[in-house]
Chains A and B, each alone.
Chain A
Amino acid sequence: MTAPTMSGAARVSAPPARRSRLVPQLTGWGFVFPATLVIVGLSLFPAVWALLLSLRDGDLLTGGDFVGLANYRDMLGDAELAASAGHTLLYTVLFVPGSVVLGLALALALNLKIRLIGFYRTCFFVPYVVSAAATGILSNFVFDPDFGIVNAGLKALGLPAMGFLQDPDQAMLTLVAISLWGGVGMPAVVYLAALQDIPRELIEAARVDGGAGRHVLRHVVLPQLRPATVFLLIWQTITALQLFDLVYTTTKGQPLDSTTTIVFYLYRQAFQLFHSGYGTAIAYVLFIVTLAVSGAVLWRGAK
């Protein structure tokens, strides 16, 4: 960035009193401008553009005609969209509480001073760094109904084989299980950081007062973890509502569209059927729902 040059120029032309105000201005903007340009330019500007696109019947090549709220009205009568919203909702209500509760349990155990602690932490976090593409390929392999290891295990235990990702009734549940495997490391690390921040005296005082482990957890530890819980509920909900990658690399929305999520449906509408106006309208509704859910969690968490 050119901050030093700019301040050099200011030194020559501006009288001393003005210079003392101008130099920090230019230096400050010199530091923050490049990042601000990239972030705001690629976010707020397209967000406004998207709103305008959602009012047109564009096809990714031409802007299309202005159709007002027709795209939003069409969404109301779109049975496939409703089904996709249902699948996303099912995934969200299973994944969000599942990952937060399991993450908390892991963090409580990982916070004890025990042997192998580094090994455990690595085990639970490593799946989080594995991409959805790699996870998808691995899942197709492990959960293959005919020769996958999971069905081999079930058979060895004398249990019936399952269809997993190829059974419309089980596919979404299987995706939740895979997501928990890959996603629980994040809440575990966040809770771990929060646990290590709780003042030791607080817990010791509660113990001295005769609190049993369960009561210390409920009345001392959990209230202290509340900000972390609020953050995680919002974060995991946003993640869940945006599920796409894992669907794309495992089922592609099948079988019988049972795993078509909102974002997968949006992708298909915009980039395969070229209904970009309709696609942006769906994206905007998803945006508003996300804001509303986050707001509700924040509001409840603040009480």
Chain B
Amino acid sequence: MTRRSLAHLFLMPLALLFVAPLVWMALTAFMPDADINTYPPKLWPEHFTLDGFRRIFTEDDYPLWLANTMIVAGAAVLGHVVLCSLAGYGFARIEFRGRGVAFAAVMATIMVPTQVLMIPTFLLFKNMGLIDTLGAAIVPWLASAFGVFLMRQFFLSLPKELEEAAVIDGCSPLGVFFRVVLPLARPALATLVVFTLLGAWNDLIWPLIAISSESGYTLQLGLATFAGARHTEWSALMAGNVVAVLPLVLAFILAQRHFVATMSFSGLKG
């Protein structure tokens, strides 16, 4: 038997095992509750219905939670793209006093786990009047050491000649950055966008702490609460899951060809 057919023999059943729960989740979202609550469970919906989706969008604050999540994730992605690429470029290419110390301070924060920061950040935001506002959910996501590191590594890997040519043509540092460097950084930015989207969209513990009014919930927080209160309405729960998961699955599939390449140059693999 060849190595290739052995690989298929190993990968095929495992791959099906990995996607089966998600496929079933999507199918369940289209089943009426009466069909779901049978034993043994049905694998294929006999009566297709959009009732689960109708329920989540008309009852509860689900549309609000979705909108809150889109705002938080959108702000997180925008913040990361702008702040981390600016900082990554500054650390990679511009020499200035204090650069080493500032970069070391940013990198040092990677070691501090969020659990240590949760309580003081909660108190800090409470003093600033941010608790129970979307701002509390957004601010910690505006930039990250990982993002700065990723962008810096990418800019270090670019040849300097293009930038030097632009400077000779009279381009300002910001002009070089926006017109020359940033358009070249698309693969790194795609990775940054997906990782930030993933983190901000899926975050649970921080919104759980920072947001207490139900109308201010994010999708994940709403889902977790919804699941506890309505645990028998499986079609609505699964519909909620599908809506919560789909944007990220699409983003990942769109950006996936950039991943392995970005992992290589960022030195993430060592």
Contacts and interface: CB of A to CB of B under 8 A. Distances in A.
Given A47-B116, A248-B205, A280-B120, 17 more contacts: A27-B94, A32-B102, A44-B108, A49-B123, A50-B120, A129-B249, A189-B260, A193-B260, A194-B269, A194-B270, A196-B264, A227-B270, A231-B268, A245-B204, A248-B224, A270-B118, A280-B116
B148 A35 contact: yes
Nearest to B40: A152
Interface in B73-107: 79, 83-84, 86-87, 89-91, 94-99, 102-103, 105-106
Contact of B123 (A60, A130, A146): A60
Interface centre among A32, A114, A132 (most CB of B within 10 A): A32
A140 interface: yes
B121 A141 contact: no
Interface in A1-44: 1, 3-4, 24-32, 34-36, 38-40, 42-44
Given A121-B256, A148-B41, A181-B18, A109 B7 contact: yes
A249 B144 contact: no
B113 interface: yes
A291 interface: yes
Interface range, A side:
35 or more
Interface of B: 3-4, 7-8, 10-11, 14-16, 18-19, 21-22, 24-25, 28, 37-41, 43, 79, 83-84, 86-87, 89-91, 94-99, 102-103, 105-106, 108-109, 111-124, 139-140, 142-145, 147-148, 172-174, 177, 198, 201-202, 204-205, 208-209, 219-221, 223-224, 227, 231, 234, 237-238, 240-241, 244-245, 248-249, 251-253, 256, 259-260, 263-264, 268-270
B7 A34 contact: no
Interface of A: 1, 3-4, 24-32, 34-36, 38-40, 42-47, 49-50, 53, 60, 105-106, 109-110, 112, 114-116, 119-127, 129-134, 136-138, 140-142, 146-149, 152, 155-156, 181, 189-194, 196-197, 213, 226-228, 230-231, 238, 242, 244-245, 248-249, 263, 266-267, 270-271, 276, 279-280, 283-284, 286-287, 290-291, 294
